[in-house]
A = this chain, B = another copy of it.
Amino acid sequence: MIIIRLDRILADRKMKLNELAEKVGISNVNLSCLKTGKVKAIRFSTLNAICKVLNCQPGDILEYIEDNEEM
């Protein structure tokens, strides 16, 4: 599965989710959905804006975790 890790980097930047949402240009509601894995895809425009605001690479926030096949 793919997850979006925002907690760490937000803590690093001492930034709140609301602030990031505003700077990124999406609603805090939708950013929360992104953060909590409620979302099935992401637009590159959104990912781009997040990377720009956080000054980071996609790899800093996107993580692939091998699915557990035996469950």
- Give A contacts to B, CB under 8 Å: 1-2, 39-45, 47-48, 51-52, 56-60, 62-64, 66-67
Mostly, the A contact residues are: mixed
Q: Tell me the number of copies of this protein.
A: 2
In the bound complex, CA of A13 to CA of B36 (Å): 33
Pairwise interchain contact A2-B64, C-beta atoms closer than 8 A: no
Determine which of B41, B44, B48, B57 lies in contact with A44 in the assembled complex, contact meaning CB atoms within 8 Å.
B41
Pairwise interchain contact B51-A57, C-beta atoms closer than 8 A: no
In the bound complex, CA of A66 to CA of B64 (Å): 24
Q: A39-B44, A57-B64 are known contacts; what are 10 more A-B pairs with Cβ within 8 Å?
A: A1-B48, A2-B44, A2-B58, A40-B44, A41-B41, A42-B42, A48-B67, A52-B67, A57-B62, A58-B64
